[in-house]
Structure 1
Amino acid sequence: MNRKERPKRFNIERIIEVECLRLSSEGAGVGYHDGKATFVAGLLPGEIGEVQIFEEKKSWQRGRLISVQDATVSSQRVNPPCTVYGVCGGCQLQHLSYPETLVWKKRWVADNLTRIGKIAMDNVLMYSTIGMEDPWRYRNKGRFHRGEDHRLGYHQEKSNTIVRFKDCLLISEPMNQWLKEVEDILLKEAPEIKTLTLRENTQGEGMLVLEPVNDGENIRELLGKMNSLLIGSNEKDKRLGISSVWGINDAGKPELLIGKGDFRQEILGLEYKVSPLAFLQVNPIQTQKLYSTVLQWAERSPAKVVWDLYSGIGTITLALAAKAQKVWGIEENPYAVEDARVNALHNRIENVEFMAGKVEDTFQKIDEHPDLVVLDPPRAGAHRRVLEGLIKLQPKRIIYVSCDPGTLARDLGILQSGGYQVREVQPVDMFPWTGHVEAIILMTNSGFKGK
């Protein structure tokens, strides 16, 4: 590399002033300095911040907020109640009033659809974000990691540093207590355990998942000593309410160590078994609202055959069964598929069938043409072969549930090029105080007949 080709060196760790103009979809304030986009966590629109630059690229840079010149400029600024906010990184918006976070989440969805998906929003019904009456202690799952001091905490955002806390305001008070007691008792005698996951259903029962566990007998012996504490087998002592403890070995296989194997969650009147490695929406209150919207949109045009792609444990599949003659669910996770089949039997639903495999490889095996297709893919979005397959099949309606506005917009753009039109958009605040937003999209076939 000659001297002319050497990359430019930037002067990082310098101090500048930045006026915030808007919020990025990550929740950071966005301003401009010398024509360069500058991202600053904690800065709100209208505010001017003293900012220390710590990362600089050719067209953008990131800064650390040192101070706000006048914190009263933004009427939406509030004091974050979390004691580790700004250190943990799990929440990005606790300094912004909750109603205003809902406004921005709607804007982020619309901006992505317009900018990335090239969706013309003039003829689209774009609804306000569905929020929560009480946007705290909503998570039914937490994943925690052991630090060098053998204490548990979250991984700091974009880091392996462990952030400890006394009370995480996103999980319930019982879950905070479970974490403390398990940490105090179990981790001292089982140093091989590096990570644990806690789940809680709406009935107050808990599931504890330990990993790695390659000597189940040793851990089971320790748990046996704690049986009355963990499982509540003693009727006078049910402090923890954890009904099952699982171990995950190095091969990723789950093993029931102690307690009952079934962990169940009720959603819209149906009861679902959830395996330790199966996906379940983390916010049960908002899940009910999200699935209710999907069902309302599905009802508008009675469908004989429905496909539920990326179906998980069958939550949407089984709910849709009452609206159709037949519902097909496809899911890659084998544990989730097993749960889905058990859930269908448990709820006495017979007009559903689940197929295990990657959606892009499996949907072609279904010989019944869909009238309605529901997609709820992971954050990376749907596989392109799935989208191209739907364009060829031309189902009358598509309902797309997404947790990432960027990949959602990309996928909708592809479907739009194949003759579909976005009709309605409903953002849902599944993750209050974070930069994440869920969205439900209704698309209809415009009559396009491709080659």
Structure 2
Amino acid sequence: MEICKHDQFCGGCIHQGIPYEKQVEMKGKEVIRLLDAKDVVCEKFLGIEGSPKQYAYRNKMEYTFGDQVKDGEMTLGMHQKGRFMSIVTVDECQLVDPDFNLVLKTVLEFCNEQGYNFYHKKSHEGLMRNLIIRKGERTKELLVNVVTSSQVEFDESAFVNCIRKLKLNNNLVGVLRTINDGIADAVNCDELKVLWGRDYYMEKIMGLDFKVSAFSFFQTNIEAVERLYTEALALIENLEGKTVYDLFCGTGTITQALALKAKKAIGVELVEEAVEAAKINAELNGLDNCQFLAGDVFDVLDHIDEKPDVIVVDPPRMGIQNKSLSKIVDYGVKQIVYISCNPKTLAENLQFMQLYGYEVKSLKAYDNFPMTKHTEVVCLLEKR
């Protein structure tokens, strides 16, 4: 595919124009460099695997309304690299389904026709803030969510008609409006209005069904993450009859996959909405051997009666704090599977775990986000 037309300004894809095999090789070398810098000893480095899809793999985009030049025409898209106040319209992005580009272009035209202005980060005045599009990769269900302030009247029925008449490849299941009057430059929800359809889409992963609501976290590249999870769970010896902790479990995708074989799977997650979503999905899949607990891992671990036989961790980019890591290694379980979205904090955590008697038996990197700087890693640790 040709270099993206937005490459000069958009800050999303830093590896545009580099052959894909080369991108993957660079990311693999960077993982090794970060591990070496922290003296992490790895018994088996299993290399790095590329993504099944290099383009149109993202199932969610959060676009921002703004302008690219001061007092210029309204734009809708991504932050310009090196210039946080500037927004670049990305209506031909290669990382998303063509439907996303069509919806973006249409929404921007609609807002211009209506004479709506964007919400200004400094003056905190204006109507249009964000556009969020989400898609079920396996179900082809599409959810469109426009984020506005409540400062100016917004014609909701005209917006619904504008979206519903589009000729889309996917099946539109919901048109939403989120009211956000917070001054922070982040998508916060003061009120969620279902203008048409429903406020969630369905997805299938690991043979399980997931109901993904407007704001719940879900994996971005479904094909790639399914392979990663399948290989990660295959590292665990004889899951049958075991109690497994899944820490930082999000909406419980891994927890539920573990529960298909384990005696019991206990998921812990800080975000309460994610825990509620996990409970709904476990019920949807008829799993009664899952338990989900909301709270900080450091606090929650003190209140779980069943001790684990195996632990799976999948922390956010900041990794695991040492105080929580101490509690995790204190269980002394034979195997810990660490799934990481940030090799830098992974290396720091592995260095700490080595001091407490854990050896890195195997480590494999995955490029689940082609063209971008991000790399995922799965490693198996065993108690010496």
For the aligned pair, the TM-score class normalised by the smaller chain equals 0.7 to 0.9
CA RMSD of aligned residues (A): 2.2
| TM-score (structure 1 length as normaliser) | 0.75
Matches within 5 A, 1:11-410: 81-116=3-38, 118-121=39-42, 124-148=43-67, 149-160=73-84, 161-186=86-111, 188-189=113-114, 190-191=116-117, 192-202=127-137, 203-214=139-150, 218-219=153-154, 222-231=155-164, 241-244=171-174, 245-250=176-181, 252-253=188-189, 254-258=191-195, 259-300=197-238, 302=240, 304-410=242-348
> Using the alignment, how far apart are the partners of 1:308 and 1:290 within structure 2?
16
How many Å separate the matches in 1 of 2:112 and 2:298? 42
Which structure 1 segments of 5+ residues have no match? Answer: 1-78, 447-451
Identity %: 31
Shift of 1:249: 2.5
Change in Cα spacing, 1:135 to 1:380, as seen in structure 2 (3 Å) is: same
CA contact (8 A) 1:275 1:336 kept: no
Q: Which amino acid aligns with 2:192?
A: E
2: CA distance between counterparts of 1:306 and 1:211?
A: 39
Contact kept? 1:231, 1:243, Cα under 8 Å: no
Deviation at 1:237, TM superposition (A): 6.3
Which one-letter code corresponds to 1:319 in the other structure?
Answer: A
Change (3 A) 1:284 1:352: same
Contact kept? 1:422, 1:444, Cα under 8 Å: yes
For 1:172 and 1:142, the matched residues in 2 are separated by: 10
CA 1:372/1:137 → structure 2, altered by over 3 Å: closer, same or farther? same
Pair 1:345–1:105, CA change in 2 (3 A): same
Deviations 1:155-204, CA, capped at 9 Å, x for gaps: 02343221223400011111111111122124654531211211111122
Displacement after TM superposition at 1:133 (Å): 4.2
SS of the residue 2:225 aligns to:
helix
Aligned residues: 359
Return the offset for 1:362: 1.3
Moved more, 151-160 or 419-428: 151-160
Q: State whether residues 99 and 168 of structure 2, in contact with CA within 8 Å, keep that contact through their aligned partners in structure 1.
A: no
User: What is the one-letter code of the residue matched to 2:160?
Assistant: N
> TM-score if structure 2 supplies the norm length?
0.87
Q: Residue 376 of structure 2 aligns with which residue?
A: 438
Distance in 2 (CA, whole Å) between partners of 1:209 and 1:164 is 17
- CA distance 1:210–1:187, change in 2 (3 Å): farther
Secondary structure of 2:374's aligned partner: coil
250-259 vs 236-245, which moves further: 236-245
Q: Name structure 2 gaps, 5 residues minimum.
A: 68-72, 118-126, 183-187
What is the Cα deviation at residue 384 of structure 1? 1.8
Query: Is the CA contact (8 Å cut-off) linking 2:243 and 2:309 kept in structure 1?
Result: yes
Aligned AA for 2:293?
M
Answer yes or no: is the 8 Å Cα contact 2:91–2:104 preserved in 1: no
Computing the radius of gyration from Cα coordinates, the structure with the larger value is: 1
CA distance in 2, matches of 1:157, 1:248: 28
Shift of 1:341: 0.6
CA–CA separation in structure 2 for the residues paired with 1:356 and 1:304: 22
1:309–1:359 contact (8 Å) kept in structure 2 = yes
- State the 1:300 CA deviation: 4.7
The question of whether the paired residues in 1 share the 8 Å contact of 2:246 and 2:266 is answered with yes
Distance in structure 2 (CA, Å) of the matches to 1:256 and 1:298: 43
The 3 A distance-change label for structure 1 pair 397 and 303 is: farther
Question: Which segment is superposed worse, 417-426 or 177-186?
Answer: 177-186
In 1, the alpha carbon distance for the partners of 2:331 and 2:47 equals 32
